[in-house]
């Protein structure tokens, strides 16, 4: 974090923060895009946004055009998109605009939107929620001295401006004022349900105005009037999300005059998200209505009011490579790798019944004419693919960091994945294991690499593990970051790994050897020949790498015809990689039981790698590709009889 120590003071002294008290702006209609009391205007003509949400960083770059054309074919004319700061600035001052085969090429996303003849709304954050890790904040923010996110805090505002300024360099040519498709930019995200620091939101609005030349708006949950008041920025268009019936009524009652304008439901929920857990359901809860007809009735109400909408989500995509966030209403509820959302276009880009119902509904609003739906290819089915154990995770560790006390994941310069903590005891200890201030998030406990149990904060009552250590024993704690909270509390303190000291009984354990294991991709030295028969997997084995391979005909390689849902049979919990791509987590408790594999990432010869955290005696796992998604639950083998955070 040397960058933070050297650059942060210099930027603060340079006075890069915009003084919010000097910011004034009036909402007017101009030659490109604007609004009056009741309508938006695009190039001087009244314009109703028939919108839907799609986020480029959840969709393979090769499929962007396909998804946008399908949005247009359903009757949408505007695409709303979150941008994830944490994917772009992976370390302080280090930018990655190409992540996972171009999914971070934000400028190209808006070029594709323009190519499709669609308009766009930019939702840049810096906080976006969106069921993303820490709501889109980079993990390294937690190491900035004296920072408090989502407040009028100089450090936070300076770093937010640095992000927004860099983002603007990639998208400014796509603003409607420069002939592009981007009509508006959102200020923060549902801030009214979090706090009411108007100095912060005004300062952030001023920063956006400094770097972007487009209309701004705020978006807050409309069912609760305080949200509208708390989230408002004077002179900035105030809008709502959620229930439009209550929301539009409350907007008329409580929005101040300088924030009034045409109605927009910026997140109209057709359905909802899904979280992991043996009692979690798919989807997690329903959307605005209880069925498709009620959802469509709500959209008709919006349009009859002269309002606009954005369906959240039109197409959800995938939380690749540990990108998921989590909820917290007492315990962590990590979001699944799939962000299918039961949306009109499913995770693989295929239409559901609601897609066709929405197309029929929107047809009259598009002058009775819509483009033909693009061709949908059938998905790939495979035979069983055997996966063999080839290496133990603990057998090939990176260099250790040594400390007299445990360091958090972020202190080790790590944002995602796993961190291994090891302590060699010089004398005997017996008693209850206490890990820091509690599990952050899932701790697998080993003594001499033999699994002793799991402590996980998804459980209402995390397991108690008592240990007896003898001189020379090695205690290993493998801590998994299952996704930083993006909504509810706690939001400020999102450090992972071990925070605090570790005890057995009353004995504090020290010192520690620590190993950062972010594993964005599998190790390069894994054996794919499947000739390694020396590994014997027991019921208490430590995490193990399994590999396998499969072939495809060249005619479908790299196309949507190779799309499939891959299920790992026999696994408990872990990570799936195909051809080096991190497809995200799997967990047998469900409800997600298979992983989406984009066909554009497949070739004639394909390699599957699985990191299985709890091998439990399995000498082989079996993968199988299917055109049908599997959603169901299993009993949690690590906490039989426990109560998970999600009661549904």
Any idea which residues carry the catalytic annotation?
Answer: 190, 267
DSSP conformation letters of 371-404? PPPPP-PPPP----EEEEEEEEGGGS----EEES
Cα–Cα distances in angstroms (integers) from residue 417 to residues 6, 211, 321, 638, in the given order: 27, 34, 9, 20
The CA radius of gyration of the chain, in Å to the nearest whole number, is 25
User: In this structure, are strands 308-312 and 264-269 parallel, antiparallel, or unpaired?
Assistant: parallel
Q: Phi and psi for 382 in degrees, rounded to 5?
A: -120, 165
**324 close to 575: Cβ distance less than 8 angstroms:** no
What residue has token string 């570790």?
502
Length of the chain: 648
Q: Which two tokens stand for residue 451?
A: 């699994």
Which residue, among 470, 474, 627, 491, has the nearest Cα to 561 in the 3D structure? Answer: 627
CA distance 477 to 443: 6
CA distance 109 to 297: 31
CA 194, 197, 201, 203 dihedral sign is negative
Which residue, among 443, 495, 447, 490, has the nearest Cα to 464 in the 3D structure? Answer: 443
Exposed / middle / buried, residue 304 (Cβ in 10 Å: 0-12, 13-18, 19+)? exposed
User: In this structure, are strands 418-424 and 544-551 parallel, antiparallel, or unpaired?
Assistant: unpaired
CA 602, 607, 610, 616 dihedral sign is positive
In a 13 Å sphere around the CA of 9, the CA atoms on its Cβ side amount to 3
Q: Which two tokens stand for residue 630?
A: 């599997």
CA 132, 138, 140, 144 dihedral sign is negative
Give the count of beta carbons closer than 10 Å to the beta carbon of residue 80: 27
Chain centre to alpha carbon of residue 94: 20
**177 close to 213: Cβ distance less than 8 angstroms:** yes
Name residues whose C-beta falls within 8 Å of residue 110's C-beta, 6 or more positions apart in sequence.
120, 171, 174, 180, 181, 182
Which residue, among 594, 637, 566, has the nearest Cα to 278 in the 3D structure? Answer: 637
Give the count of beta carbons closer than 10 Å to the beta carbon of residue 398: 10
Backbone torsion region of residue 179, taken as left when φ is above 0, otherwise alpha when ψ lies between -120 and 50, otherwise beta = left
Which residue, among 80, 153, 88, 90, has the nearest Cα to 122 in the 3D structure? Answer: 80
Cα–Cα distances in angstroms (integers) from residue 582 to residues 67, 345, 569, 600, 615, in the given order: 21, 22, 18, 14, 19
DSSP conformation letters of 488-548? ES--S----B--S-EEETTEEP--EEEEEE--SS--TT---S---------TTPPPEEEEE
Exposed / middle / buried, residue 57 (Cβ in 10 Å: 0-12, 13-18, 19+)? buried
């Amino acid at each position: 974090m040397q960058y933070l120590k050297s650059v942060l003071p210099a930027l603060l002294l340079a006075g890069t923060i915009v003084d919010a008290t000097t910011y004034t702006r009036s909402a007017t209609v101009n030659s490109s895009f604007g609004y009056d009391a009741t309508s938006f205007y695009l190039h001087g003509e009244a314009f109703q946004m028939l919108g839907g949400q799609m986020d480029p960083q959840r969709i393979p770059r090769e499929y962007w055009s396909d998804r946008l054309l399908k949005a247009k074919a359903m009757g949408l004319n505007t695409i709303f998109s979150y941008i994830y700061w944490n994917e772009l600035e992976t370390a302080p001052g280090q930018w990655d605009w190409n992540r996972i085969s171009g999914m971070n090429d934000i400028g190209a996303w808006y070029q594709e939107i323009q190519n499709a003849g669609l308009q766009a709304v930019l939702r840049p954050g810096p906080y976006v929620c969106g069921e993303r890790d820490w709501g889109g904040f980079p993990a390294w923010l937690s190491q900035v001295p004296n920072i408090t996110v989502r407040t009028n805090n100089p450090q936070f505002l300076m770093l937010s401006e640095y992000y927004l300024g860099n983002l603007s360099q990639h998208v400014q040519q796509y603003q409607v004022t420069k002939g592009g498709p981007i009509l508006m930019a959102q200020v923060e995200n549902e801030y009214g349900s979090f706090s009411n620091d108007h100095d912060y939101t005004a300062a952030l609005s001023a920063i956006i105005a400094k770097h972007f030349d487009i209309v701004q708006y705020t978006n807050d949950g409309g069912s609760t009037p305080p949200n509208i008041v708390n989230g408002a920025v004077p002179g900035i268009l105030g809008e709502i999300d959620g229930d439009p019936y209550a929301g539009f009524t409350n907007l008329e009652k409580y929005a101040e005059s300088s924030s009034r304008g045409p109605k927009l439901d910026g997140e109209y929920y057709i359905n909802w998200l899904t979280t992991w857990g043996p009692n979690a359901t798919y989807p997690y809860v329903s959307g605005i209505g209880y069925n498709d007809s009620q959802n469509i009735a709500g959209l008709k109400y919006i349009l009859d009011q002269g309002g606009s909408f954005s369906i959240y989500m039109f197409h959800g995509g995938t939380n690749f490579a540990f990108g998921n966030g989590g909820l917290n209403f007492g315990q962590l509820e990590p979001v699944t790798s799939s962000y299918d959302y039961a949306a009109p276009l499913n995770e693989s880009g295929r239409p559901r019944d609601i897609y066709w119902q929405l197309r029929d509904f929107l047809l009259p609003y598009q002058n009775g004419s819509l483009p033909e739906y693009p061709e949908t290819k059938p998905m790939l089915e495979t035979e069983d693919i055997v996966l063999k154990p080839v290496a133990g995770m603990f057998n090939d560790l990176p260099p250790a960091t040594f400390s007299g006390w445990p360091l958090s994941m972020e202190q080790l310069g790590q944002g995602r994945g796993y961190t291994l903590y090891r302590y060699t005891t010089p004398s005997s200890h017996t008693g209850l294991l206490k890990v820091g201030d509690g599990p952050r998030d899932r701790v697998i406990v080993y003594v001499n690499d033999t699994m002793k149990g799991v402590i996980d904060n998804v459980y209402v009552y995390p397991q108690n593990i008592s240990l007896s250590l003898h001189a020379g024993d090695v205690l290993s704690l493998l801590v998994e970051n299952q996704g930083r909270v993006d909504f509810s509390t706690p939001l400020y303190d999102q450090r992972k790994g071990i925070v605090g000291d570790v005890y057995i009984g009353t004995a504090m354990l020290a010192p520690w050897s620590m190993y950062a294991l972010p594993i964005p991709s599998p190790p390069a030295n894994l054996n794919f020949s499947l000739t390694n028969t020396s590994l014997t997997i027991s019921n208490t084995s430590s995490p193990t790498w399994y590999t396998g391979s499969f072939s495809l005909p060249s005619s479908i390689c790299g196309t949507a015809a190779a799309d499939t849902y891959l299920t790992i049979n026999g696994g408990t919990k872990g990570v799936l990689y195909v051809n080096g791509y991190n497809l995200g987590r799997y967990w047998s408790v469900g409800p997600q039981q298979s992983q989406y594999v984009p066909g554009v990432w497949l070739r004639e010869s394909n390699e599957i790698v699985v990191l299985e955290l709890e091998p439990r005696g399995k000498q082989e796992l079996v993968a199988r590709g299917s055109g049908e998604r599997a959603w169901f639950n299993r009993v949690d083998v690590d906490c039989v009889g426990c109560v998970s955070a999600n009661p549904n």
